[in-house]
Amino acid sequence: MNEFGPILRPSRKTLVLSILGLAAFLAFEAIMMRRFVRVDTRPPAWDQAVQLEIALDYRQALNAGRWSDFWFLAPKPGMPPFPPAYQLLLRGAYSSPDPAHAALWYNWLYLAVLAISLFGISWRFLPDGRALAATLLFCASPGIQDLYTTQLVDLSVIAWTAAAYWALIESQGFSSWAPSLAFGVLYAVGMLHKWSFFSYMIPAYLIAARAVSDRRARPKVLAAAGLSLALFAPWYWSHLALLPSRLVQASSDFAVPFWQGGAWLTYLRDSAGPLGPVLWALGFIGLLAPQYTRRREYGWILAYWVVTSYVFWTIVPNRQMRFLLPGLAPLGLAFAATWPDSVTWGAVLLQFVFLINFFFGWIPTFSVPLPFVPLPMFVSRPPEAANWHIEDILRRVAAERDPSRPLTNVTLVANDVYFNGPTFHWAQRLLGLPGISMRGVNKRLCELSEFVLLKTGTLGPAGVIGGLPEAADQISQIGGWFQAGYQEIARWPLPDGSSAILYRQRRGRLAPYPGRRLVVDEFGADGASGSGLRLDFDDWTPALSAWKSARLSVAGVKVRGLAVDGLSAQADNFSFVAAPGEDVRKVEFANIRIMRLDRLRIESGRVSAASLQAFANARLHGLVLDRVTLDGTIRAEGRWYGRTVSMEVALELDRAARVLRVRVLSASYMGTPLPVGLFGHIKDLTVSLDPNPETPFAIDLPGLTIKKGQLTIP
C-alpha cells in the first residue's frame, strides 16, 4: 500500500498474452505491407523522393569512399540538411531492384519500435490487457498507417519519441543509471533522425532540471546529457552555418500565424482523420482525468507530452499532421485509462476496421458534419497499380536529346503528387541517365531548356502551383514564341485522366534575325535590363539551329539587381527564338527566349562595391549591408535582423580546376569574432564554371581582380 493506493502485482499470464497479441498485430501489419508493395506501382511523392535520393547520395558517397561528401552531404535545393540516421538506414533499400518499395519495409521496424515502446509505457500505468488496447488504438490509426506506407522519416520520429519516453519514465526522475543512459542514447538517435525531435521532449527538460538539484540524480542526468550530446552534437555543429536559416525558411511554408483565422485550432480539426473518429473524440477527453492503475505520479508526463507538443507545433507556421503525431502517442493510453473496457475494446475493433479499409478502400471516405468540424470516416489510401510513365518519359528524353549539348534541361510544368520535380530527379538518378536535369518554371518559363514537359488538367494542389497555370497558358498560346520554338514529340495518358506532353525545341529552324549585327540602345526583360547592346553574329548552323558564335558587348546591364559595366563576351552555339513578326530590336524582350548557349567566354566586365552592396541587400532576406569594401578581398559590414555582423571572404579563380573558390577569412556577430570553423564546409565553397542546371553552359574567365572598389574581369 502507498499514497496512491494498493500496489498491484501484474498477472504474468496477462503479460504473455498481451505480448502475443502485440506480435500478432505486427505480423498482420507485415502481411498488409506485403500486399501493398506487390500491388502498388505509383512512384514516390515529393518529400518521399527527396528522402530516397538522399539515401542514394549516401550510398554512392560511401561506396566511393568520399568521406567528406558523406559528412557534408549537399542539401537539396531550398531544403535544410537532413540528419543522416534515417537515410543511412534507407540506403540498404538500393540492394533491391525496387528501392522505393524495399524502403517501406524499414517502416515495419520503426512500427515495431513504436508498438513495443507504447506497450512498455502503457504496461507501467495499466498492468493488464488495457495496455495492449492502448497500444493498438494509436498504432492502428489511419495516420500511422499512412506514414507506414510512405518513405518519410516521420514514423521513425514517432517511434523514437515513444522509446525515449519509455526510458524517461523507467528512470524515475533520473534516479536509475541504466534507463537514464538509455534515454540519453535514444534522445541522440531521435535527434539524428530529425531536427524537430527536441520539440516533443519538453517534459524531459523539466524533469532533468529538477534532477540536477538532486544530489543522487545529478550524476545520472549529467551523464545522460553528456552521452547524448557526444552522439548527436558533432553533426549539428558542422552544419550550423546553414541549418538554422534553412529551417526557418522551411517552417514558414504556408505560413499563417496561430492567432489568425482560428489557426490554433488547425491541429484539433485535422487530427480527426489521422487518429480515427473515436480515438479523436474520446482520447483528448480521457487525457483530462485518466484513472491509471499505478504510477499515477508520473501521469502528468503523458499530459504534458501531448499539450506541449500541440502548443509548439501550433506556433510553428507550417502545420502538417505528421509533425504533431509524435506528440499524440499517449492518447491511446489516456483513452484506455478513462473509459470502460467495453468502450476501449470496441474502439480497438473499430480502429482495425479502419486499418483494413485503409489498405483495401472498400468503403469510400466520407465526412460526418459536426457543428465546428467535419468528422472524416474511413480514411483510406489503398495501393494502386497506376503507371505515371516517369521512366518512359525520362528514357524518351534521353533518346531524343542532342548529345552535343553539355547538359539537357527539361522544364516541368506540373507539381502534382506523383508528377513533380523531385520524383523525376530521383527516377533519373535511379535509371542512371546522365546529362539530364529536371527544372521548374521561372519568370522566363523554359529558357535554355531543350525540352518542356506539360501535364494537362490538374497541375497539382493549389498551394504549390504558383506560376504554373500561367506557364501552361503561354505554352498553348497560338502564334507565340513557344510554338515557334518548340514542337510536341510525345504524349502519355496519366492515371488521373490527364496527359503528359513532351515538347522539344524545333530543329532545323531558320535564323530568327537575318542580319550579321544587332544593335539595341535600351533593352529590358524579366530580371535583366541595360543599354548599349551589340551582337555580332557568325554563320548560322542549321543542324544546331544556332549561330556558331556571337560576340556580345553591353555598355551596362543589370541582372537580378546586380549591375555590370563594360561587359564583353563571346557566346558559342548561341540562338534565340522570337514570336512570329516580333521585332527583336524592340525595347522589351518579353516575347524572346534564349534557346541555346554552349559556352560563354567572358572577356571583360566590372562590378563595383556599391553594386554588390545593393545586390546583397535586395536578395538576402534580413540582411542590410552598410558597407562593402573590395580591396584584395571582399569585406562586408552591416546588420542581420538588426544585429551587427561583418565578414571577409577571398574570391579566387582556379582556371585549371574551372572553379571559383570562396573562402571565409573572418566573421563577427555583434562585435564578437566567430571561429571560421563554425561555418563548417561552407567556409570553403567552390562554384563550378562547368555546365549546371542553373547555367547549362560552360563559362570561361580570363582572370579576376579585386582592388580599388572594383571586381573586374580580367
Ramachandran class of 432: left when φ > 0, alpha when ψ lies in -120 to 50, beta otherwise:
left
Say yes or no: 127 and 238 in one domain: yes
What sign results for the dihedral spanned by CA atoms 164, 170, 174, 179?
negative
Domain boundary among 569, 597, 625: 597
Say yes or no: 250 and 365 in one domain: yes
What is the structure's pLDDT at 521? 84
Tell me the per-residue pLDDT of 630-660, one tens digit each, with 9 for 90 and over: 999 999 999 988 889 999 999 999 888 899 9
Task: Flag whether pLDDT at 1 surpasses 70.
Answer: no
**Residue 653 belongs to domain spanning:** 609-713
Most confident of 93-107, 435-449, 611-625, 646-660: 93-107
The three cell numbers of residue 685 are 565553397
Mean of pLDDT values over 425-449: 91
Residue 278 lies in a domain: yes
Say yes or no: 522 and 626 in one domain: no
Convert 240-255 into a string of H (helix), E (strand) and C (coil).
Answer: CCCHHHHHHHHHCCCC
Overall number of domains in the chain: 4
Say yes or no: 564 and 637 in one domain: no
Instruction: Work out the pLDDT band at 4, boundaries 50, 70, 90.
Output: very low
Say yes or no: 129 and 276 in one domain: yes
Higher pLDDT, 370 or 309: 309
Say yes or no: 499 and 526 in one domain: no
Mean of pLDDT values over 290-313: 89
Task: Flag whether pLDDT at 5 surpasses 60.
Answer: no
Mean of pLDDT values over 17-41: 97
Q: Please name the helix (run of DSSP H) or strand (run of DSSP E) that holds residue 307, with its range, or none.
A: helix 299-315
Say yes or no: 214 and 171 in one domain: yes
Counting residues of the chain whose pLDDT is more than 90, the rounded percentage is 67
Tell me the per-residue pLDDT of 527-574, one tens digit each, with 9 for 90 and over: 678 888 899 999 999 999 999 999 999 998 887 778 999 999 999 999
Mean of pLDDT values over 343-368: 94
* DSSP code, position 67: H
Mean pLDDT of the chain: 90
Task: Flag whether pLDDT at 251 surpasses 70.
Answer: no
Tell me the per-residue pLDDT of 331-340, one tens digit each, with 9 for 90 and over: 999 999 999 9
Say yes or no: 452 and 365 in one domain: no
Residue 260 lies in a domain: yes
Say yes or no: 525 and 498 in one domain: no
Say yes or no: 267 and 416 in one domain: no
Tell me the per-residue pLDDT of 459-516, one tens digit each, with 9 for 90 and over: 999 878 888 999 999 999 888 899 999 999 999 999 999 999 999 999 999 998 888 9
Residue 602 lies in a domain: no
Task: Flag whether pLDDT at 255 surpasses 70.
Answer: no
Instruction: Work out the pLDDT band at 6, boundaries 50, 70, 90.
Output: very low
Task: Flag whether pLDDT at 311 surpasses 70.
Answer: yes
Say yes or no: 279 and 134 in one domain: yes
Using the CB atoms, write b or e for 43-61: b if 16+ within 10 Å. bbbbbbbbbbbbbbbbbeb
Angle between helix axes 46-63 and 99-125 (nearest 10 degrees) is 100
Quick check: helix, strand or coil at residue 302? Answer: helix
Q: Cis link prior to 219 (omega < 30° from 0)?
A: no
Residue 437 lies in a domain: yes
CB of 113 within 8 A of CB of 323? no
Residue 500 lies in a domain: yes
Interstrand relation of 705-707 and 710-713 (parallel, antiparallel or unpaired): antiparallel
What is the structure's pLDDT at 480? 87
Residue 1 lies in a domain: no
What is the structure's pLDDT at 2? 40
Cα distance between the two ends of the chain: 87
